[in-house]
Amino acid sequence: MLDDRASERHQLLIDGQFRPALTGRTFETLNPATGEILGHVAEAGAEDVDLAVASARRAFEEVWGPMRAADRGALLLRFAEVIRRHKDELTELESLDSGKPVAAIRRQDLPAVIDTLTYYAGMADKITGTVVPARADALTYTIREPLGVVGAIVPWNFPLMIGMWKIAPALACGCTVVLKPAEFTPLTALRLGELALEAGLPPGVLNVVPGFGRLAGQAIVDHPDIDKVTFTGSPGVGRQILRGAAGNLKRVTLELGGKSANIIFADADVDAAVRAAASGIFFNTGQVCSAGSRILVHESIHDEVVDKLAARAASMRLGNPQDAGTNMGPVVSEVQMDRI
């Protein structure tokens, strides 16, 4: 299942090397379908984040930032090819660590990871400025330059896919990354970091620091040498990040959860609407920031919609996410199950 090098991969990835946390602390990552311990993962603290940021800054200033954009794009294309070669391993690892059905990962998550990286690899040498026709006797123009070091904080519901949504554009633009995966799902992020090195990305371009939000995440937000934070998660944490980012006026991108509604009108194609509504709440066990957790339905078709939704829910196959026939796996953790 997981190979003999798994314990090494459970360490922090800083400056191209796997290493334990400076405190020596670790935390367990579990298979949510069985409760089995998949490994003990190094727990990053503020001092580890300092090392990762210093590594990312060196790589940005000395290697990745000055590199020709076309060369960066070529390395990112090679990274995509390495991921493609390891897609079965990544699918299994993502399923084990998050509880996501392998069928869903093969259908959506892994193709999206490869597509995203390929897209931004092609964009790397096409980022241009503009000439502004301000006046005839002056040359006025804009240029686009990489920001620097990006702190990326990734949630547990789509670890691979959302992780790559943050990694690929930052690297394509010439930035370097300090990535903090969610404490529930750190394994594929660490493996991505290792595959990036295999593809030839220089050490320090992508650092991976698993840990908890209150320590590693907060250290990223507060760090004066991180130029931007990108975060996907809860509105409450998003507010904290905005407050923390004021310290050095770092840029912030937030993708936060919501309470979303589907609306089904009387003239709708009821079968199509029910299929979409069911997918909207059952996909990924409902662990989606845009999950359709409410349905507003016209009273004239209320009973029909309820009956067909109930039938569709009854047909869902719950079970082992490693089974190709499973439609719905477990929620990601006991903590999340209790919260629900």
Burial class (CB in 10 A: 0-12, 13-18, 19+), 240: middle
What is the Cα–Cα distance from 240 to 256, expressed in whole angstroms?
12
Catalytic residue among 81, 89, 198, 289: 289
Which residues does residue 41 pair with via DSSP β-bridges, in sequence order?
27
Q: With the C-alpha atoms ordered 83, 49, 152, 123, is the resulting torsion angle positive or negative?
A: negative
What angle is formed at CA 52 by the lines to CA 51 and CA 53, rounded to 5 degrees? Answer: 90
Catalytic residue among 81, 92, 255, 304: 255
Burial class (CB in 10 A: 0-12, 13-18, 19+), 291: buried
- DSSP SS3 for 151: strand
What is the Cα–Cα distance from 98 to 167, expressed in whole angstroms?
20
What is the Cα–Cα distance from 1 to 288, expressed in whole angstroms?
28
Q: Which residues, in sequence order, are CB contacts of 80 under 8 Å at separation 6+?
A: 114, 117, 118, 121
- Sort strands 12-14 and 17-19 into parallel, antiparallel or unpaired: antiparallel
What is the Cα–Cα distance from 183 to 319, expressed in whole angstroms?
23
Identify which of 63, 49, 60, 38 has the alpha carbon closest to the alpha carbon of residue 14: 49
- Is 255 marked active-site? yes
- DSSP SS3 for 228: strand
**Paired tokens of 59:** 């790589």
| Active site members | 255, 289
